[in-house]
Structure 1
């Protein structure tokens, strides 16, 4: 077996041999008994937004979806009805397929969050227990082993974001993708290009929406639909206005002020939005401001947490919904078509509802709303469900907003979101957030501010966890120098930063330097913090791992055994630091040839890991695999 041992991060240790890595943490949540068995999908599990109350046409496209057995990619202009077609067809499949699950898939992070949501829906007891990465993996394992399911991946911008999912689940169920991208799908799925509505269908859609609440004058609907390019989204917004205000189509056409050619989707929607907001401005002053705020978040299921508790909020949302500009859900969340959002975010000095100052103000309100909504404690599993609901909106805001305009309110949001992603096993994604937080913090607070230094340290750990040790070493060294100057050499955070620097050296292959750095930190930690402190004992376990890499196996076993016994006494056997140290110690026994001792420890550890972490937790699987290997 290999003698390599590794660890990274302020709170991490490593297992010896080929056993793998184990990471420590401050909290452990026991899995409920009903969550310990195999994943079972409950009957009738359906998660599909009802995209269109008034749906017309698309018969040929629906028949193609019925016939096709491979992945189908529905492509076309924004606002042409791709999602509406996919949602309508998916709901028709619910009687024959289970689950039928919708995932907003604008980024790889969105896909991961959607899969985690599927796993949580299958086993609700895990919602506040497992991090996103573990839930995502459970969903993928289930999908790859079962038939008869349907996934809809909505608004994929990069086919690479879903290739891994399709490769693991291909052939077992059905997948439908919507995307504005028409190329790059060769070998992935059949492309179904969706055109604008035929003239007759566009008029039928207009008529259904406009007369929904009662008879209306629809003469001239053909000319109005033609002016709007027969784009379903623009037609529906115009029809909702005409129905709500009893405005004949020809009068509405005059209000548009200018005509536009077919195919210019964003301009068609911009014209209809302006007419609607002109009317609403007189009766509801909040409607325009709320729409501009919603434009900075992800389009689907914007939670009530992100809506400021201002007077008239619900009334304004009701007006926007009545004019087909937003969709209200029973849980208080709101959805907005992404093309409506794109128009509402785009400054236009000629449009009184999209003046640059109003757009900038809406961005600031969105930034503050995110800061109020995100949980400050990313480690506590009780907050993970909230995080899973908020992350798509954090990521959407970061895509839409220019980093040069980031304010102080965003810095904490970026930091705690990065911590959540790192804890969820997504350090590569967390790096982007930390880098943006660092840029803003250096600009707004200064390079030596303690917050800036803390972001540097978190970024260093993510770099190391992402396989970029050389960069981690350089950054960790800078953090130690700065923290020493700002906080002092004996501050706890400075000492922990020195430990991270030692870990970065180990990952870069600089074993002797890593051992020297870690031993030096330990001496100071014992002197400043004391021996029987969690931080000191965890660092002892880390140095034991380094001793193995330095061919000092006997010392490694002695140090790890001492630290493990002290952690058990200090924290108890259910603490994650104790469990991690015990796993590492068993691995060291294997490396030292003490197979019987290792077997006994693994046998003792397995039921504890199952009871405390659950049978699917990575630590539990690691122990089970090591026990099987050591028993051979």
Structure 2
């Protein structure tokens, strides 16, 4: 019997086909049952495209180094103070490579997820297959493949400020980490970082310190932003020197002056600096450096004062709130009214004003998001209050968050540790559930383990959030075909819940539902049937017949009855589930589509082959339209449909499903293995 599990929310989908051969296609034994959570179509979690659209002015004062980089090879490190222009220089170098037709990949390195995900994406771009990536030697294989590429090419690793992340599977200094020296002579690796520690980087890379711009070049940066209205270049140069030649400070000051000078003089606030000289005088008379004496804080203070003068009294409050999120775009819809005293209209205009002055980056196309400048975030780090999980969890209608989950996940999983309260762990559990619902099974397993273990360490035994975290982890394990591990996790979870006073009965029901699925995937049909039968009897009293967990148990029992050749009883049970699901959730809900596919299989077992095939085709079309072609639900439906087709068509469809599952889950995943075995059995039935 071949197993083809997909997992979602509170239940595991099983496409089940048992018995011998129907026609010339061997069936695969699988169960599908109800979905508890919904999710949007799968979305890419990383991009390796350079940020060509980044707003900027001409690069100043780096011509000599830029020329060297455009003809260089090997690994080069640009290091220096935040805001010194490292990323701008790397982007300008990338433009040169791209203009010459060379491939350019850009990997963000602010955290381990984006770094590893970006490098895996690069690995796919240079030809590595999913089964090679799944073998656990991604770093070695990536650098072997990069070293064999004909040049030129460019790989940028941006914002690699935490060098420990670059160790990856080995050691950065020893040349066995995520960043290495490419073997070939045509490739360039360019890393931007604040850390220029020679010992940490090792002997291989060439390190280039980026310092302050000289007065004349700094003045040009000011003029690029502020324009001619702010005064002559002779006045700009003393201000550039006073600002320490730091491009970020120069850019911020230039933006400020531009925002003032664009208005007629009679509309300006008295004393508001509108020229280079006036701005310099406003900074005070003490010597200003850029390495910790508060220059940027003074610049930002002037910008905030300007905003207050323009009626944006809550600008700093907004910056402090944004500092409570991860270093990633924040969707505006998560802001809780009780956390902010700013009316929605004023909130938007305040964000626009902050964006104009360069303190935040606001993107209004599509889903509105805002991202705090990392240096501004650093300024509030000491008083940062972790708000992201609380804000997201307090949204009254969870369905409103469905399009936001790809954006919310980095925030909900950010900075998990002893200081995170119950609300924070609840948000993290929801993030893991989102990963599973969107078909990101392998990441859901990895994150699910971390959240489950973390919640268990920091919350009391038997706490409902610990139980919820364990359910999500077990759910993800089942989706990845690791049913033995899932059964172990769920058994322990149920045992601990029984020993703890006041455990959440609804979550215990879900854990038992998942345990029944694990038993079925392990092949113990009688144990699974007994578990689901007991659940249906108990849940009907506790929850009511229309509860989704009760319906999930009934759907799972129906598929087991079908496998035990009690197909009439199975169809009766499945009809109950389908009627309730359609009434409660709608005909195209994810749960309802799962039930329809299960029912199609039972119909085929009853001899209604044509009706079963038509229903299966409808489910494949609906899932593909809603979730995308590579979502595990869509692939499971295509697998089941293949068992209802003629041999030649079935063989082609199974080959396509195998290719997609290898790409999504890896070569050795049990679900992929089951698909490969089904394809081989089908191949043997073909003539010739």
Q: What TM-score do the two structures reach when normalised by structure 2?
A: 0.60
Distance 2:153 2:279 in 1: 45
**Structure 2 matches for 1:38-117, cutoff 5 A?**
47-97=51-101, 100-111=104-115, 114=118
Listed one character per residue, the Cα deviations across residues 131-150 of structure 1 (whole Å, up to 9, x for unaligned) are x99xxx9xx89x97987764
* Change beyond 3 A, Cα 1:416–1:405: closer
- Identify the match of residue 495 of structure 1 among 512, 537, 550: 512
- 2:653 counterpart residue number: 607
CA RMSD of aligned residues (A): 5.8
How far residue 56 of structure 1 moved from its aligned partner, in angstroms, is 1.1
Distance 1:541 1:118 in 2: 46
- 1:198 and 1:84 map into 2 onto residues whose CA distance is 17
1:205 Cα deviation after fit: 2.1
Task: Give the corresponding residue for 1:200.
Answer: 216
Report if aligned partners of 2:240, 2:250 keep a CA contact under 8 Å in 1. yes
Q: Is the 8 A contact 2:3 2:30 kept in 1?
A: no
The change in CA–CA distance for 1:180 and 1:168 in structure 2 (over 3 A counts) is closer
- Aligned residue in 1 for 2:166: 159
Matched, 1:181 2:195: yes
The one of 375, 379, 382 equivalent to 1:339 is 375
2:74 aligns to what SS in structure 1?
Answer: coil
5+ residue gaps, structure 1: 16-20, 36-43, 123-131, 348-358, 507-513, 544-561, 587-596
From 306, 316, 328, the equivalent of 1:279 is 306
- Alpha-carbon distance between aligned partners in 2 of 1:201 and 1:492, rounded to the nearest angstrom: 68
Q: Deviations over 1:322-360 (max 9, x none)?
A: 32323444625444431122113433xxxxxxxxxxx54
Aligned to 2:434: 420
Displacement of 1:59 in angstroms is 1.0
- Between the aligned partners of 2:54 and 2:507, the Cα distance in structure 1 is 59
Q: 2:530 aligns with which of 501, 523, 536?
A: 523
Q: State the secondary structure of the residue aligned to 1:79.
A: coil
**Pick from 434, 441, 448: which aligns with 1:430?**
448
**Match of 1:230?**
245
> Is 2:324 the partner of 1:310?
no
Cα shift readout 1:429-484 (whole Å, capped 9, x = no counterpart) = 333344455567x47xxx54544422233245668979998898477414344169
Q: Is the 8 A contact 1:602 1:623 kept in 2?
A: no
- CA contact under 8 A between 1:8 and 1:461: conserved in structure 2? no
CA distance in 1 between counterparts of 2:191 and 2:33 reads 38
Deviation string 1:15-57 (CA, Å, 9 cap, x unpaired) is 9xxxxx999786899xx9xx9xxxxxxxx97643425325311
Decide which moves more: 47-56 or 468-477: 468-477
> Where do 5+ consecutive residues of structure 2 fail to align?
17-28, 43-47, 127-132, 170-175, 261-271, 337-342, 538-551, 565-597, 607-611, 620-631, 666-670
Q: Which moved more, 1:181-190 or 1:232-241?
A: 181-190
**Structure 1 range deviating more: 238-247 or 463-472:** 463-472
**TM-score where L is the length of structure 1:** 0.64
* TM superposition shift of 1:170: 7.5
Q: Quote the residue 2:296 is aligned against.
A: 269
Query: Is residue 11 from structure 1 mapped to residue 12 from structure 2 by the alignment?
Result: yes
Answer whether contact 1:476 1:501 (CA < 8 A) is retained.
Answer: no
Distance 1:112 1:391, change over 3 A: farther
Shift of 1:155: 0.9
Q: How many Å separate the matches in 2 of 1:524 and 1:177?
A: 55
Q: Residues 270-299 of structure 1, C-alpha deviation per residue, up to 9 Å, x if partnerless?
A: 222122213322321132223223333455
Determine the structure 2 residue equivalent to 1:289.
317
Q: Which of 671, 675, 684 in structure 2 is aligned with 1:623?
A: 675
- DSSP 3-state at the match of 1:312: helix
| Count of equivalent residues | 532
> Which residue in 2 is equivalent to 1:510?
none
Cα distance, 1:159 vs. partner?
1.1
Deviations 1:216-246 (A, max 9, x none): 2676655544444322212322333344343
Paired with 2:447 and 2:506, the residues of 1 have a C-alpha distance of 32
CA–CA separation in structure 2 for the residues paired with 1:48 and 1:182:
26
